[in-house]
């Protein structure tokens, strides 16, 4: 009995190993005239499935002989599934990636270099973000920016001027303090304490996260400490503390929806959710301290280096990211912003109301803070800085201690 069990176990184990070992191995065989390519995505998840289907349909009509098979996964679990596929060599021909993971995938040879037929169609900064040594390894599929939302009624009630392009941190701080009325449960400002905010406020203060050679951090400077204090110091003065609920899902947007938040730093994806609120609101480019810098989040698609149909896959990737069909469908559905260079194509977006100042979305692109990216340890680096900043926010560490600790931990991580 024992022996049978061991034999069975051993056999299965060895089989599994052999397979797990060969990481990137081409899957299946095809390639006559008609090809089927697979596309694994999360971007359409949560309401845009039909919009993606419409883009696929238009592509297939334009490219007879190519069929696109779409698999949609929940955003939160997409990474787990993609990693499993990469490990087992079953990755789709075309798949979604996020900017933060681009460097690691590129460095590990997962992505095929792409021959982009119309590079001019893309917003240059976005295309550039997914290039390495002059070659494109992924194509941006959409972008969103983070801006400052404000409740105009609260500003009026306090007799304050609305935020405008020339604002700096000092203006924001003064307004936030004037707006905060703890007795009425009204708070002046809300900005998450996280990695994604920190690299941006560093840029707003003329600092950078990583040293130029990318092998150590550069944020533990007087300017970097000032930036961290700007983030963390809001908590308990003009922004609720963690104990009061800050940091729980949707806490900030709820507060804004209830008309109890003066200013909110969040992404333009919230336009739809705020469309029907019973008070006046608008947006402005985020104030900087020494520089103007805004966060841009972009998704992209890559073509698998192991794909048997790189050409057809590239065609689909380009269509998905730059075709007029895609632009029309995205703008019509309010499904983030297309990554195209031609601002004329985005005219309909600017014409829409709520918020009125949609121009701020494009103005924010004049100064973009890109996240620091490393090929090994990206996620862990993000986790560490987030954790240390929250320690400072909760008052368990001083800002100086938190940044010193983060510096030490991340440098150790980057040293390998």
Partner 1 sequence: MSILTPPAILPDATAAAAPRPVRPARRAGRSRAARIRYSLTVLAFLLPSAIPLGLFVLGPMIAAAWISLHDWNLIAPMRFVGVDNFAQLLADPATGEVFLHTVGYIVGYLPLVYIGGLLLALALNQSLRGRTLWRGIYFLPVVTSWIVVAIVWRWLLNPSTGIVNTALAAVGVDGPGWWTDPAWAMPSIVIASAWKDLGFVMVILLAGLQSINPDLYDAARVDGAGAWRRLVSITLPMLSPSTFFVVVISLINGFQVFDQVYAMTGGGPGGASQVVVQQIYDLTFRYGAAGEASALSWMLFAVILAVTVAQIIGQKRWVHYA
Partner 2 sequence: MPENRVLASRPARVVRPARVALHLVVVVGALAMLFPFAWTVITSITPGAGLTLRPSLWPQDPSLEAYATLFAGRPFARVVLNSAGLAIATTVIQLVTSATAAYAFSRLPFRGRGVVFAIYLATMMVPLQVLIVPLFAELRAFGLLNTYLGALLPSFASAFGIFLLRQAMGQVPRELDEAATLDGAGHGRIFFSIMLPNIRPALATLTIFAFMGSWNSFLWPLVVLRDPELQTLPIALAGLQGQYTTAWDVVMAGSVISILPMLALYLLAQKHVIQGVANSGIK
412 sits near partner 1 (criterion: CB under 8 A): no
E strands of 246-394, at which residues?
261-267, 281-284, 294-303, 368-369
Structure tokens at 99: 């900017």
Residue 121's contacts (CB-CB under 8 Å, 6 or more residues apart) are 322, 340, 341, 342
| Contact region with partner 2 (CB under 8 A), list: 84-92, 225-233, 321-329, 344-352 | 84-92
Q: Is 21 in the site for partner 1 (CB under 8 A)?
A: yes
Q: CB count, 10 Å around CB of 10?
A: 10
Q: How far is the CB of 16 from partner 2 (least distance, A)?
A: 4
Which of 112, 116, 160, 270 touches partner 2 (CB under 8 A)? 270
Count the neighbouring beta carbons within 10 Å of the beta carbon of residue 30.
11
The contacts of residue 157 (CB under 8 Å, 6+ apart) are: none
Question: Judged by CB under 8 A, does residue 8 bind partner 2?
Answer: no
Q: How far is the CB of 218 from partner 2 (least distance, A)?
A: 29
From residue 30 to residue 69, the character string flagging contacts with partner 2 as x (rule: CB under 8 A) and all else as - is ----------x-xx-xxx-xx-------------------
Place of tokens 């970097």: 224
Residues 297/147, Cβ–Cβ less than 8 Å: no
Report how far apart, in Å, the C-alpha atoms of 316 and of each of 89, 201, 323 are.
Answer: 21, 37, 10
Smallest separation, CB 374 to partner 1 (Å): 11
Q: Return the residues of window 341-400 that contact partner 1 according to CB under 8 A.
A: 376-377, 379-380, 383, 387, 390-391, 394, 396
Q: 90 is in the binding site of which of partner 1, partner 2, none (Cβ under 5 to 8 A by kind)?
A: partner 2
Q: Which residues between 41 and 100 bind partner 1 (CB under 8 A)?
A: 79-80, 83-84, 86-87
Location of structure tokens 């609720």? 240
Burial of 165 (0-12, 13-18, 19+ CB in 10 A): middle
Work out the burial of residue 380: count CB atoms within 10 Å of its CB; fewer than 13 is exposed, 13-18 middle, 19 or more buried: middle
- Applying CB under 8 A, the residues found at the interface with partner 1 are 1, 4-5, 8-13, 15-17, 20-24, 79-80, 83-84, 86-87, 104-105, 108-110, 242-245, 248-249, 376-377, 379-380, 383, 387, 390-391, 394, 396
- Applying CB under 8 A, the residues found at the interface with partner 2 are 1-2, 5, 12-13, 15-17, 19-20, 40, 42-43, 45-47, 49-50, 70-77, 80-81, 83-85, 87-90, 144, 248-251, 253-254, 257, 267, 269-270, 273
């Amino acid at each position: 009995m024992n022996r049978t069990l061991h034999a069975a176990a051993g056999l299965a184990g060895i089989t599994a190993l052999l397979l797990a070992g060969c990481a990137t191995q081409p899957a299946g065989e095809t390639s006559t005239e008609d090809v089927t390519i697979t596309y694994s995505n999360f971007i359409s998840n949560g309401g845009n499935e039909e919009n993606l289907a419409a883009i696929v349909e238009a592509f297939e009509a334009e490219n007879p002989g190519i069929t696109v098979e779409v698999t949609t996964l929940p955003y939160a679990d997409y990474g787990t599934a993609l990693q499993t596929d990469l490990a087992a060599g079953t990755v789709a021909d075309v798949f979604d990636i996020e900017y933060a993971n681009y460097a690691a995938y590129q460095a590990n040879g997962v992505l095929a270099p792409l021959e982009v037929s119309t590079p001019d169609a893309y917003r240059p900064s976005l295309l550039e973000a997914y290039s390495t040594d002059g070659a494109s390894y992924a194509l941006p599929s959409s972008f969103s920016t983070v801006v400052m939302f404000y409740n105009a009624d609260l500003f009026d009630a306090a007799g304050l001027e609305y935020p405008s392009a020339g604002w700096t941190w000092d203006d924001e701080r003064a307004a936030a303090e004037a707006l905060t009325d703890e007795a009425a449960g009204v708070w002046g400002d809300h900005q998450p304490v996280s990695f994604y905010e920190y690299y941006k406020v560093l840029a707003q203060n003329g600092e950078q996260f990583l040293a130029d050679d990318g092998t150590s951090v550069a944020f533990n400077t007087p300017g970097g400490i000032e930036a961290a204090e700007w983030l963390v110091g809001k908590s308990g003065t003009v922004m609720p503390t963690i104990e009061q609920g800050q940091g729980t899902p949707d806490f900030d947007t709820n507060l804004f929806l209830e008309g109890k938040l003066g200013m909110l730093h969040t992404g333009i994806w919230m336009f739809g959710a705020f469309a029907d609120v019973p008070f006046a609101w608008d947006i402005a480019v985020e104030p900087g301290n020494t520089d103007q810098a805004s966060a841009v989040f972009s998704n992209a698609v890559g073509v698998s280096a192991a794909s048997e149909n790189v050409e057809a896959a590239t065609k689909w990737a380009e269509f998905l990211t730059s075709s007029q069909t895609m632009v029309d469908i995205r703008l019509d559905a309010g499904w983030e912003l297309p990554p195209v260079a031609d601002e004329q194509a985005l005219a309909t977006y600017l014409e829409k109301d709520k918020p009125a100042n949609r121009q701020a979305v494009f103005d924010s692109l004049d100064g973009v803070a890109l996240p620091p990216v490393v090929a090994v340890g990206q996620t862990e680096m993000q986790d560490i800085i987030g954790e240390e900043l929250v320690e400072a926010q909760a008052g368990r560490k001083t800002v100086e201690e938190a940044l010193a600790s983060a510096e030490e931990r991340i440098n150790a991580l980057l040293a390998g």
